[in-house]
Amino acid sequence: MASVEEGSGSRLVQPDKYKWELVLLLWGAFFLNQADRQVFNVVLPLIRADLHLTDTMLGLIATTFTVVFGLLVPFAGLAGDIVDRRRVVLISLLIFSTGTLLTGFASSFLLLLLFRGVATGAGEAFYAPAAGSLIGSAHDKTRARALSIHQTANYTGTVLGSLLAGWAGQTFGWRSAFLIYGVMGLVWGVVFFLRSRRYAIPAPATRARGDQKDLFGEAVKLIATTPALIGQMLAFGGLIFVSVGFLTWTPTLLFERFGLQLADAGFSATFYHFMGAYVGVLSASWLTDRLIPSIPRIRLWVMALGLVASAPFIWWAAEAQSLAHIYIALAAFGVARGMYDAGIFAAIFDVVEDRLRATVMGIVLASGFLIGAASPVIMGSMKAQYGLEGGMQMLAAAALIAGVVLFAATMVRPLRPRT
């Protein structure tokens, strides 16, 4: 009989009854994870004016967040393969929510750097590997569907997070946006703890078998001998470079170029993009699930195509001089981005066994965020000389290169490690 994680009561809910509620609880946590991440980007002009910060300083805060995330996420992966993954998710939720709450009280650049860049970045780093592995262990035949539904929390959190943050910032000041989401996250942490502790979830295989000694080394060796994983590491770095720069500065572009109100700028910068991403991620996951038995590389090919297809639409958004054109460009970029997102975790699960999944995911995520960390500060530094359009053109080039690299990696044989 498989080992199961501890629960609080004598009656634990069995897998067929908990797996979709688990997705719902994790969806809420991921929603707050992404909403918290976007709050800073939306109220950035208000923070700049209130604390008298430069664009480079603001970019450095976003870059610090990404570096901290990237450095800690491998440890998050190890934790997810050794201890109860629910505990890892809960601790993550409580830490990033507390960091968000404290950001609302920051009165200087250094405090913003500490609360936003370090505390919130550290908390968010521990979420994805454990959450993805929880879903993977609870869902078998419905795994891709469950992961895609979970991924939509990313889009919804970014869009609604932008809308509420912009409204709160305009109405009550920028600090209120952080306070609202900080409190919401702490409350959801209580809900998650009370509901998930009832589940009979299998323990991580490494803990059940007791083979935890060289987990990280084994994961590194697997990645080094698996072309599909090497390609995903490099491509994910390109995607994060594009995504972090885009989400940090697009609200400011709309605010400055078109004179939109802060709430409208934050909402429009994300709504059209992520509505397109909904279409891309759900359709691509449906298609690749059906084709992968006969075309083993289909998930990776669709991911590479999504990155390449993103480039011209990012460039168009950078040059657009009308709101209609930039919204169309953002929506098309979203469809392409969703094609990539549909395979992020499913493609890893295709070649990695359960006992190493969180660790491998942590390493892949770390590489991506460390590669992508420089994007916000580079765009902030470029802004005075080249404008935000110059920075977005740089993002378009990065997306194109990442897609070509991923496609090239899929052509190396064998696709999977030899056994």
Q: Is residue 57 part of a domain?
A: yes
Residue 357: inside a domain: yes
Residue 56 lies in a domain: yes
Mean pLDDT by 10 residues, the chain (419 residues): 44 64 93 88 87 86 85 85 87 95 93 94 90 79 78 86 85 92 95 84 54 74 87 90 84 86 81 91 86 87 96 93 94 94 84 81 83 79 81 92 93 63
Residue 4: per-residue pLDDT: 47
Write down the pLDDT at residue 333: 95
Supply the pTM of this predicted model.
0.75
Amino acid at 114: L
130 located within any domain:
yes
Q: Which domain holds residue 105?
A: 15-410
d(CA 305, CA 297): 12
Let me know: does 373 contact 311? Beta carbons within 8 Å.
Answer: no
Query: What pLDDT does residue 11 have?
Result: 52
Cis peptide before 414 (omega within 30 of 0): yes
Q: What is the predicted pLDDT for the residue at 80? A: 79
Q: Residue 321: exposed, middle, or buried by beta-carbon count in 10 A (0-12, 13-18, 19+)?
A: exposed
Q: What per-residue confidence (pLDDT) applies to 73? A: 86
CA distance 37 to 90: 17
Q: Output the pLDDT for position 336.
A: 96
User: How many domains are contained in the chain?
Assistant: 1
Using left for φ > 0, alpha for ψ between -120 and 50, and beta otherwise, residue 260 falls in beta
- 417 in a domain, yes or no? no
Contact 33, 238 (CB under 8 A): no
Structural domain includes residue 1: no
Residue 151 lies inside a defined structural domain of this protein: yes
Quote the CA–CA distance of 372 and 10 in Å, as a whole number: 46
CATH number at residue 107: 1.20.1250.20
* Cβ neighbours of residue 326 closer than 8 Å, sequence gap 6 or more: 254, 316, 317, 320
* CA–CA dist 376, 380 (Å, integer): 6
**What is the CB neighbour count within 10 angstroms for residue 1?**
3
HEC string of the chain?
A: CCCECCCCCCCCECHHHHHHHHHHHHHHHHHHHHHHHHHHHHCHHHHHHHHCCCHHHHHHHHHHHHHHHHHHHHHHHHHHHHCCHHHHHHHHHHHHHHHHHHHCCCCCHHHHHHHHHHHHHHHHHCCHHHHHHHHHHHCCCCHHHHHHHHHHHHHHHHHHHHHHHHHHHHHHCHHHHHHHHHHHHHHHHHHHHHHHCCECCECCHHHHHCCCCCHHHHHHHHHHCCHHHHHHHHHHHHHHHHHHHHHHHHHHHHHHHCCCCHHHHHHHHHHHHHHHHHHHHHHHHHHHHHHCCCCCCHHHHHHHHHHHHHHHHHHHHHHCCCHHHHHHHHHHHHHHHHHHHCCCCHHHHCCCCHHHHHHHHHHHHHHHHHHHCCHHHHHHHHHHHHHHHHHHHHHHHHHHHHHHHHHHHHCCCCCCCCC
Query: Amino acid identity of 353?
Result: E
pLDDT value at position 175?
94
